[in-house]
């Protein structure tokens, strides 16, 4: 199952962004490459912090446009909780609904896996994205990899 997101441009007809679980190792590799460009390249996160050894056990959500991964996040599961992390979107597609579409698909996948809630550490500048999707802050702000974050949770019931 996947979610589609129509994107319109004044220069082209409406396009469809496919948002779904990664199906191949190539899609996962493309998602990891996008994460590296965003977190390590743009934000200065160390490669070892981004690649923490948990990607093989994770469920990866990808947003695909014209055959290319343009957005991603991963889900890790423990008990009835899903941990969403590593949400990244290509710079030219930010603030156009890609992140929200990824969050919707991640919630669908988490529910299907039996999770009752999703937890995450949001970079504070992106807090509104998560709030619009039903996440609420849980605790105060803190620094992670040199970037201000806040813990957030969303019930899935």
Contacts of 42 (CB under 8 A, 6+ apart): 91
With cut-offs at 50, 70 and 90, classify the pLDDT of residue 16: low
Choose among 100, 87, 111, 85: nearest CA to 17. 100
Whole-model pTM: value is: 0.88
Q: Indicate the domain borders of the chain.
A: 3-120
**2-6, 47-51, 57-61, 111-115: lowest mean pLDDT where?**
2-6
Q: Band of the pLDDT at 157, cuts 50, 70, 90? A: confident
- Which of the 8 DSSP states describes residue 135? -
- Evaluate whether 133 touches 3 at the Cβ level (below 8 Å): no
| pLDDT tens digit sequence for 36-83 | 999 999 999 999 999 999 999 999 999 999 999 999 999 999 999 999
Rounded CA separation 134/129 (Å): 9
Residue pLDDT, tens place only, 146-156:
999 999 999 99
CATH number for the domain running over 3-120:
3.40.630.30
Which pLDDT tens digit goes with each residue over 91-107?
999 988 999 999 999 99
Q: Which residue has the higher pLDDT, 21 or 15?
A: 21
């Amino acid at each position: 199952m996947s979610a589609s997101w129509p994107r319109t441009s004044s220069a082209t007809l409406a396009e469809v962004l496919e948002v779904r679980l990664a199906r191949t190792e190539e899609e996962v590799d493309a998602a990891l490459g996008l994460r590296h460009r965003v977190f390590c390249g743009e934000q200065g996160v160390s490669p070892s912090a981004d690649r923490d050894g948990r990607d093989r056990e994770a469920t990866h959500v990808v947003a695909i446009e014209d055959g290319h991964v343009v957005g991603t996040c991963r889900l890790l599961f423990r008990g009835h909780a899903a941990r969403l992390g590593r949400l990244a979107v290509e710079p030219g597609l930010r603030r156009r609904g890609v992140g929200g579409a990824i969050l919707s698909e991640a919630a669908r996948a988490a529910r299907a896996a039996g999770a009752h809630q999703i937890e995450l550490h949001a970079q504070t500048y992106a807090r509104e994205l998560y709030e619009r999707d039903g996440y609420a802050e849980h605790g105060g702000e803190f620094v992670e990899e040199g970037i201000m974050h806040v813990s957030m949770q969303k019930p899935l019931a």
